[in-house]
Structure formats: structure tokens, C-alpha cells
Amino acid sequence: MALTQARTMPGVLELLPMEQVALQGMLDTIRRNYERFGFLPIETPAIEFADVLLTKSGGETERQVYFVQSTGTLEKAGRPELALRFDLTVPLARYVAEHEHALSFPFRRYQMQRVYRGERAQRGRFREFYQCDIDVLGKDTLSVRYDAEIPAVIYAVFSALQVGPFTIQLNHRKLIRGFYESLGIADGEQQTRVLREVDKLDKRGAEAVRTTLAGVDFGLNTEIIDRIMAFVALRSTSLQDAYAQLDALAGDNASLHQGREELRQVLDLLKAQGVPESHFALNFSIARGLDYYTGIVYETTLDEHPEIGSVCSGGRYENLAGNYTKSHLPGVGISIGLTRLFWQLREAGLLASSESSVKALVTLLDESDLPHYLQLAAHLRGAGIATEVVMEPGKLGKQFRYANRAGIRFVLVLGGDELAKGVVTVKDMRKNEQFEVPRADLVQTLRVELEQAEVMNAVFAPTEIQSDRNVS
Amino acid sequence: MALTQARTMPGVLELLPMEQVALQGMLDTIRRNYERFGFLPIETPAIEFADVLLTKSGGETERQVYFVQSTGTLEKAGRPELALRFDLTVPLARYVAEHEHALSFPFRRYQMQRVYRGERAQRGRFREFYQCDIDVLGKDTLSVRYDAEIPAVIYAVFSALQVGPFTIQLNHRKLIRGFYESLGIADGEQQTRVLREVDKLDKRGAEAVRTTLAGVDFGLNTEIIDRIMAFVALRSTSLQDAYAQLDALAGDNASLHQGREELRQVLDLLKAQGVPESHFALNFSIARGLDYYTGIVYETTLDEHPEIGSVCSGGRYENLAGNYTKSHLPGVGISIGLTRLFWQLREAGLLASSESSVKALVTLLDESDLPHYLQLAAHLRGAGIATEVVMEPGKLGKQFRYANRAGIRFVLVLGGDELAKGVVTVKDMRKNEQFEVPRADLVQTLRVELEQAEVMNAVFAPTEIQSDRNVS
């Protein structure tokens, strides 16, 4: 029979089992921290009605949508009725509008699912990828205090993910608008054009951007350009410096004033929540989705890997679901593009070396003792220790090599001697130590070792706990 | 602006947050148990090449496939190049063939993802649903011992899911074939036709089936029909009875002999693993996918809800990935259709009443004390207790009502008195008790209560541990 070549479409990241263990660990860590902050889970279908998904998008988004058709509708003309979600924000808007009366507001939800984009395939861009989102939605209003809770979540998540030092960058759309207004760039469209230009600083360099801003398209004078360049270069270096930078901002129109006050409140509450000042900073160059965000905006960067860019972004928006409901639903949220982050960490060699989710391997010495091996495995599994039993005969050395290759930490040997003495011989593959332990103590012994390993892995994680020492 | 109606397509089960908490709990329980038995996670893309997905299917499967097109390919004629997976078995075959040289065999994988079928919408049938699968795959051969491990996993999973008493039903395709051969029904196609007819017993009733088997299409005599009806009526009532029923089987051709021997081995090893004999039984009426399974077959039914049908099914197959590789890959596995099971449990009122994943609510009494509330929340979150803070002012009674409606167990009050005394007032909404606890003891106090609740919830769960008491 002719074989079909087994292959996945370009632009997906399919992982080997040990890599999947690592990704699953990251998903678990993110979820655990989202839940600790009181966010509730939702999941939405991957397939939505196309007219629901594409209400406000058009343009780039629509070009990247995957349409879906069952066989029965293939022959029909026109655009298919169904499509795959391309983010979790539009489905959230649809969900909240559809279930509005069954939800309590402020509605705090997390959602961790894959999304689909028919992008041109290129290295590091994915057509199917995980997004891990949180949002808080208010009915009519939502306190700026929630804007301060989001960075505390980001801090908890990225501390627990152990990806090295990171900085949560803060800016505010109203402050940006007020700043440009104070420079006489009051027209919204002109502001947007300037922002787009300034956003090219990294790519084009300061001189090129200055030249463009001074040129015929913008016609800004040198003093204005100097002030813009100084503004977008600002990075606060401490909490005190952040307050000082806000105080020092020239101009005092209403928009700038409001942005400044809200950022001050956020800074106050970040401190109250114990987020270390080393982990956040004002950065006035951050703009993000220009037609979407209306208040605070966040980006998070890895200090030692700026080339990765923002690993977690979001902000405050004015009204989530205006296409589906007359209710006014302001919100604030963030998204982690986990598939891309995972890929980048792997590329940068930052993924912790994988130990398997399987912790113990029971070896097969004598086939007639198989019932004993299975009982030992049942004992360990009952105590929550993931255990595999070698079921088919083979040399003991081969069984050890398998455990080694598979990243299984403990290899258990239960020979005639051990059975007679009521003990188990344990080889700790990580420490390269071998010891005998009474059967009755086995679970406890392995648990202590496994928990120690977890604590070692989580050495950066429980900073939340450390910060609590300041609590009254 | 005209509003778009927020709606999901028919045939999807979208849950409210508290229901999602319950579903997530079931997903976690299944995963935890799959991992305990040493299965490794994989995930595959939802979108596959259509020619890869549809190699061997055709017919019913192909009619239910959702095809996928990016906007750019919409205008092209012909069948789209991409499609959504309709199960996890075909993607597993593709995965193993594609990554064969990077995997260790026997390869033990679990996979819990959604699958898509463009079925006619009807109550209780879903177009998007979770499957939770495990499979063990051998290279060239796979010991029958693995056939005995699968029911031990089923037992652990369904004990932990707390869905009431259940029975794992066992049968064997070779035993079935041998039985019919011994009756002179040796032709494979004729066997299949008889099996299809017998499979209608529940729907058509015994008399109708007997009449058909005696009629012109089959022409079987009364004695043969009696023996068939007795065979498919068999249910073993204990382990001893199961052995006796196997011994008592008339006929002794090679196929029947092999099926009988393999079932005996499985029974031996189920006992060794501590699976209680109350939870499994021989049931010779089970056939399952006739052209796919070649050895043992499993179905699992809830004793008090037979109307739900099998909640977990699977079996042994001869060669998984023959369409993609020349390697011979026998395997054994099961699938839990979780979305349908969840829906059925909800319909039957069997879902445990939902407590939120959020465990504590910090109330807002005095706005100037907000930093204290946030510090308290940070303290609890650092200790792993999921905590929400009321951020916007409101009457205390309203805050309590919110906690009650939201299923949050502990409401924490930190007023001026409490702050002065270094205590927190805790209202336990579940027990309807209120008490004061020193700040330093708060985490420990809540943890004890929450862990007790978990033990209460898991009262049926740790039967694996109980069964270990029999261990030498």
C-alpha cells in the first residue's frame, strides 16, 4: 500500500513528549497564578460564526482568518459561515455579551487556549498558538485599582516561570495624548502618525526618525522633536524616580493630568502589593494597539533577552463588547503568547533541562515476580508518585538506560533478596546514588526527594511570600 | 451602530465559569491519574493536512470532517488542503510515524484535546468536544500485560472522578471470532453481519433479533441462535465467576483459545494491581469498532446510570500507523469523551455542587485601608490560596452576597479593630460560622479547612491507596 507522508502543516510547533512536559509545566504555572489572583476559567469553542468573529476587524485580521466548512457546505458559493478564532479577546466579548445576565461584574476571567492565524509561514511565527489571557471587566465603570492588580499578576507569573530577571513596562494612553496635545499636536490622526513614526526608532534609528519628523510630512521644529525624543527615551529607574518623572512632566492639560494621576495610583498600589520596584518601570515609548487601548498599557521584557521583545502585553480599554451589546463594558487585561515564548526560550537555551513527569521506573527482573512489581507501582501511584513498570523482559542495564534517556529519576529494583528483606533498592539517577530503603519508608523517602527538587526548581518563585514579611 | 447577535454555533457546550471550574477539575483529575501511570503528554495541532487525516477513513468520517481554508485559498476550486482533527487516534498515528526515531517504545502517551465533527446537531451530540486518550504503542510487538494496565488506569480515573459505582466491561475480539467459528460461522463477513444484528438487541429486543437470525438473510438454526443469545447475555459476577465462565466456554479453536488465555492473564494482573473485582466483569456482548480492534476490548458503564452508555471505551489494535510508516506498531488504548460525559453528569444531576476556584474574598471597608487589604491578599496568594479583593466601595452586605453567589468560601473582614488587634475576622460561608483569627495563624487555619474539604470531596478517590494494604 502506498504510504502517505506523515507531516504537519508549516507554522505549527509540535513538541516531543519531554518538551510537552516542559510546556505543560508552564501552562500549569500560569494557570495556578491566574487562579491565585481570583480569576475564573472560561473556554470558548475554536469555531465561531464568521460574522460574529469579524464584526469589527476587517483588513489584516480578516486576511488571516481560517474559514471552516463541513463537507456538506463545500459546494456552496460565498464566504463560509464559520471560522476559527484568531485571538481570545473577540470570543471574550461575544461570551460576555451572550452570558451577560449570568455573570457577576467585575468579571474576572482567565482563558488559556489555542488561536489560529493564517499567516505567511516564517521562523518564529505560528499559525496555531497558545494565548493565556486575563481580563477584568466592569459594568459601566471599572476602578483604576484593577490596573494595578494586573502587574502584580504578571510579577507572580513570570517569577514562578523562572525565566530570569524581567521588567514590567508601564505607560498610559491618556498621558501620551496629553503630552502630544501640549506640544500642539492635538489632532488624533496626526498624533497616530507621529506615534507610528516614533515606534520605528529601534528599526530606523534616531537620526532617520528625526529627519522624517522634520520633513514635509510632519514639519515639526527641532525643539518639539527634541522633546518627543526625550519623552520616548524615558525609563524610570526606581519607584521614587518614577514618581519624580511623572512630577517633572511638562504640560498640564486634562488628558495628561488624568494619565499621570492614574499612573501614580498604580505605582502606590504596586508597592502595597509587594511588587519589587526592580520589576517595573515607566517607559513612555510604549504605545500598543492605538485604536484599542485607552488607559494604562503594559509590556514585559526579559532583562537579559531584550531581543525577545515583549512576552506579556495588554492594557485598559474603554468598551469590550460594543459590537454585541449596548452595555458599556470597560476592562483591563493582558495576554501571554505562550507558544512563541516557549519557542524563544528554547531557542535561547533558557528552558530548564527536562525531567520527565514520570518519577519512578519499576524494573522487571523475574517474570514470575510481576505481580509484586505491579503492587509496588500501585502503592507508589496511590501516593501520587507517577510510576511506570517495565512489562517486557530485558537486560537490567537496558532498563536503566531507558530510564536515563527518558528522564525518569528513580529506578526501583525489587529482586528476590529485596522481597525477602522487605526492602527496595533505589537508584537516584539525578544524584547517581543507590540505596536500600524499607518498603514501608519508600513513599516517604521518594516524596522528600521530589519535594526538595520542587523547592530547588521554585527558588525564584515564592517571592510573593517574601514580600509578605513586610505585612503588618 | 447595528449590533451583531452574540451566539455560538449549534452543537457546542460553552460553560459558565462555575461549570468550567467543575470541568477543569475533571480534566485535572484525569490528567493526574494518567500521569501517575507513567503516560507522557503530547498535543497535536487541531489543523492537519486533509490528505493525512483522511487516508483510511472515507464514508461517515469524511462526511463529518470540517475543512479549513485561509482567506487566500477561498477562491480555489477543489477540496481544501486542511481539515480539523475528528479524533486523537489518527493524529497519534501521524505523530508516531513522523517522530518515530525520537520516541522510546513502548511509547505511553496521553492526549487531552478537543476534536471536531460536523455532525447533524442534536441533543447530547457535540461538534466540538474533549477527548482524553491514553495509548501504549509497541514496536513490532506489545505484551498483553499492557492490556491489563489499561483497566487499572480506568479504575483509578473513575474512582477519583467520583461518579458513583462503575463497571469496566471486558471482552476479546479473538474470543468472539473463535466462538462464531466454533458455531460454523467462519466467514469474516458473515460474522460481522451477525455481530451487527446482535448489537441491536437493546434496541430491537431479543425476539426481533432471533427472527432475523432465523430468517432468509442468515438461516441459522434454533440451537445456534440459542448459543449466540446465551453468549452475548454473559456477564461475570466475580473474579472467580469470570475464570469459570472462560473455562466453561465450549469450542476450542486456536482463536478462541488465544482470546481466553489473554483474558485470563488480564484477570490475573488486575488482581495483582488491586483493582477490586466489583469493578470489572466479562461481557461477551461488547464488540466495538469491528474493523479496528483485534484483541481485548473495553467499555465502562456507570452502574446506577446505564442509560448513559459507555463512558470510556477502547481496546487492542494490530497496527496503528500502517498508512504512514512501514513499522509495525501494535497498541492498546482508551478514550474518554469528556464533554459528553460532563453534559450527561450534569443532566443526571451528578455534578458535585460547585465551589469556586476562588477561596477567599477580602472585603473593602475603608478605602484608606486598601493597601492593607492588598497586603493581606498577597499574603494568602503567596501561600497558594486563591484570593479576590473587593476593589470598589459598596455595602458590606452586598460584598457578602457577592461571595455567596460566586461560591467563594471565606470572606475576610479587616476593619480598624482587626488591624489594631492584629487579627482577621473570617466568615466561613460553607459552615456559616464566623470567627476571629490572629493574622499570623490565618494561612494555616484556612489551609486546614480547605484540605479537609478536599479530603471530604475525595472520599471515594484514594481507593488505590486502600488496595495497597494488601501489598506484601
Q: What is the pLDDT of residues A231-277, one digit of tens each?
A: 999 999 999 999 999 999 877 799 999 999 999 999 999 999 999 99
Distances (CA, A) of B323 to A467, B140, B293, B327, B335: 57, 16, 16, 10, 21
Query: What is the spatial distance between Cα A439 and Cα A421, in angstroms, rounded to a whole number?
Result: 9
> Positive or negative CA dihedral for B139, B140, B144, B150?
positive
Distance from CA of B421 to the nearest CA of A (A): 11
A319 touches chain B (CB under 8 A): no
Mean pLDDT of chain B: 91
Predicted confidence at residue A44, as pLDDT, reads: 98
In this predicted structure, the answer to whether residue A156 has a pLDDT above a threshold of 50 is: yes
Query: What is the C-alpha separation between B244 and B223, in angstroms, rounded?
Result: 23
The CA distance from B250 to the nearest CA of chain A, in Å, is 30
| CB within 8 Å: A378 and B326 | no
Q: Look up residue A468 and give its three cell numbers.
A: 509578605
Report residue A471's pLDDT band, with 50, 70 and 90 as the boundaries.
Answer: very low
Amino acid at B72: G
Distance of CA A221 to the CA centre of its chain: 41
Residue B408 — very low, low, confident or very high, per pLDDT cuts 50/70/90? very high
- A383 touching B (Cβ < 8 Å): yes
Of B335, B430, B273, the residue nearest B92 (C-alpha)? B335
Q: Do A255 and A266 contact (CB within 8 A), yes or no?
A: no
Give me A405's grid cell: 534517556
pLDDT value of position B176: 94
Residue range B169-191: mean pLDDT, rounded: 93
B135: β partners = B109, B333
Q: Which helix (H) or strand (E) holds A130?
A: strand A128-137
In the stretch 17-76 of chain B, residues with CB closer than 8 A to chain A read 17-18, 20-21, 23-24, 32, 35-38, 40-49, 51-52, 55, 62-72, 74
Integer Cα distance of A234 and B176 in angstroms: 77
Query: Minimal Cα–Cα distance from A326 to chain B, Å?
Result: 8
Stretch B299-320: mean pLDDT? 94
The mean of the pLDDT values for chain A is 91
Q: What is the structure's pLDDT at B349?
A: 86
8 Å CB contact between B98 and B107: no
Residues B237, B243, B248, B249, CA torsion sign: positive
Quick check: helix, strand or coil at residue B323? coil
My answer on whether omega of the bond before A106 falls inside 30° of 0, hence cis, is yes
Considering CB atoms only, which of A82, A321, A322 is closest to B9?
A82
Which among A15, A35, A55, A85 is the top mutation candidate for probing chain B, defined by the most B β-carbons within 10 Å of its own β-carbon? Answer: A35
On whether any CB of chain A is under 8 Å from the CB of B10, the answer is no
Q: Is the pLDDT of residue B273 over 80?
A: yes
- What digits encode the pLDDT tens for the residues B8-30? 999 999 999 999 999 999 999 99
- Measured between CB atoms, which of B5, B55, B357 is closest to A40? B357
For B458, residues 6+ apart whose C-beta sits below 8 A from its C-beta are: B160, B162
| In the predicted structure, residue A454 carries a pLDDT above the cut 80 | no
The secondary structure of residue A235, as a DSSP letter, is B
Number of neighbouring beta carbons within 10 Å of residue A61: 15
**Is the model's pLDDT at B325 over the cut of 60?**
yes
Which pLDDT value is given to residue B1?
66
DSSP assignments along A20-44, one per residue:
HHHHHHHHHHHHHHHHHTTPEE---
Question: For helices B145-161 and B254-272, what crossing angle results, to 10°?
Answer: 50
User: Is residue B359 classed as helix, strand or coil in its secondary structure?
Assistant: coil
Q: How far is residue B265 from each of residues A412, B236, B331, measured CA to CA in Å?
A: 24, 16, 17
Give the relative orientation of helices B254-272 and B173-182 as an angle to the nearest 10 degrees: 150
Chain Cα centroid distance, residue B80 = 32
The number of C-beta contacts closer than 8 angstroms across A and B is 347
Using alpha carbons only, what angle is made at residue B290 by residues B286 and B295, rounded to the nearest 5 degrees? Answer: 70
Q: How far is CA A180 from CA A204, A224, A247, B189, B447, in A?
A: 22, 10, 17, 80, 52
Q: Cβ separation of A68 and B66 shorter than 8 Å? A: yes
Widest pairwise Cα distance in chain A: 92
Sheet holding A387-389, edge to edge: A387-389, A360-362, A410-413, A423-428, A433-438
**CA–CA min distance B311, chain A (Å):** 22
Contacts of B459 (CB under 8 A, 6+ apart): B162
Q: For cell 495497597, what's the residue?
A: B468
Residues β-bridged to residue B84? B47
Is B143 close to A95, i.e. CB distance below 8 A? no
Query: What is the Cβ-side half-sphere exposure of residue B220, based on CA atoms within 13 angstroms?
Result: 24
Q: What is the per-residue pLDDT for B455?
A: 66
**Testing the interface with B: which of A379, A411, A414, A466 to mutate, by most B Cβ within 10 A?**
A379
The H-or-E segment that residue B174 falls in is helix B173-182
pLDDT in the model for residue A1: 66
Domain covering B17-347, topology: BirA Bifunctional Protein; domain 2 (3.30.930)
The per-residue pLDDT for A58 is: 59
Q: Which three cell numbers stand for residue B441?
A: 495563624
Distance of CA B130 to the CA centre of its chain: 9
Q: What is the pLDDT of residue A428?
A: 96
Between A192 and A276, the higher pLDDT residue: A276
Nearest Cα neighbor of B82 from B54, B115, B63, B117 is B54
Q: pLDDT confidence of B77, banded at 50, 70, 90?
A: low
- Taking the C-alpha atoms of residue B65 and residue B216, their distance in angstroms, rounded to an integer, is 37
Residues of chain B with CATH 3.30.930.10: 17-347
Q: Which positions ≥6 away from A10 have C-beta within 8 Å?
A: A121, A127
Residue B51, amino acid? D
How far is B128 from B119, CA to CA, in rounded Å? 10
Helix ranges restricted to H, B183-279: 188-198, 201-204, 206-214, 222-233, 239-248, 254-272
Nearest by Cα to B287 from B301, B277, B298, B274: B298
Residue A251's region, left for phi above 0, alpha for psi from -120 to 50, else beta, is: left
Q: Where in chain A is the domain with CATH 3.40.50.800?
A: 360-457
SS3 A222: helix
pLDDT recorded at residue B203: 87
Choice between A287 and B459, residue whose per-residue pLDDT is larger:
A287
Per CB-CB distance under 8 Å, the chain A contacts of B272 are 370-371, 374-375
Say how far apart CA B4 and CA A255 lie, in whole Å.
32
Determine contact: B160 vs chain A, CB below 8 A: no
The amino acid present at B17, given as its one-letter code, is P
Contact B381 A464 (CB under 8 A): yes
pLDDT at B384 over 90: yes
Q: Is the separation of the CB atoms in A465 and B383 below 8 Å?
A: yes
Cα angle: B361, vertex A261, A169; to 5 degrees? 75
Would you state the cell numbers that stand for residue A318, as one nine-digit string? 474603554
The average pLDDT across B59-82 equals 81
For residue B456, pLDDT over 90 is answered with no
Q: Work out the percent of chain A whose per-residue pLDDT is above 70.
A: 93
Among A residues 181-220, those touching chain B with beta carbons less than 8 Å apart = none
Separation between Cα atoms, residue B383 and residue B447, nearest integer Å: 9
Q: Which amino acid is it at B150?
A: I
Predicted confidence (pLDDT) at residue B321 exceeds the cutoff of 60: yes
Q: What is the mean pLDDT of residues B199-226?
A: 92
Higher pLDDT, A455 or B423: B423
* Sheet with A66-70, edge to edge strand ranges: A47-49, A82-84, A66-70, B66-70, B82-84, B47-49
3-class DSSP state for residue A167? strand
CA dist A82 and B166 (Å) reads 39
CA dihedral A239→A241→A243→A244, nearest 10 degrees, is 170
- Element containing residue B111 per DSSP (H, E): strand B107-116
Give the range among A365-369, B120-124, B236-240, B355-359 with minimum mean pLDDT.
Answer: B120-124
Residues 259-298 of B with CB under 8 A from A: 268-269, 271-274
pLDDT tens sequence across A265-286: 999 999 999 999 999 999 999 9
- CA dist A173 and B19 (Å) reads 37
Q: Is B202 exposed, middle or buried (0-12, 13-18, 19+ CB in 10 A)?
A: exposed
3-state SS assignment for residue B185:
coil
CATH number belonging to domain A360-457: 3.40.50.800
B319–A contact, CB cutoff 8 A? no
Query: Which pLDDT score, from 0 to 100, does residue A77 have?
Result: 67
Neighbours of B135 (CB within 10 A): 27
Please state the separation of Cα B278 from the chain's center in Å: 20
Q: Percent of chain B, pLDDT > 70?
A: 93
Pairing of strands A360-362, A387-389: parallel
Amino acid at A366: D
Tell me, what's the pLDDT at B79?
A: 80
**Residue B157 reports pLDDT greater than 60:** yes
Residue among B70, B418, B447 with most chain A CBs within 10 A, to mutate: B70
Which pTM does this prediction carry?
0.94
Instruction: With CB atoms and an 8 Å threshold, state whether B4 touches A323.
Output: yes
Question: In the prediction, which pLDDT does A56 show?
Answer: 67
For residue B250, what pLDDT band results from cuts at 50, 70 and 90? confident
Nearest CA to B171 out of B267, B78, B104, B88 is that of B267
CA distance A292 to A298: 13
8 Å CB contact of A467 and B378: yes
Nearest to B65 by CA among A68, A257, A395: A68
pLDDT tens, residue by residue, A396-453: 999 999 999 999 999 999 999 999 999 999 999 999 999 999 999 999 999 999 998 8
Q: How many CA atoms lie within 13 A of A362 on its CB side?
A: 28
- Residues 353-372, chain B: which have Cβ within 8 Å of A? 356-358, 361, 370-372
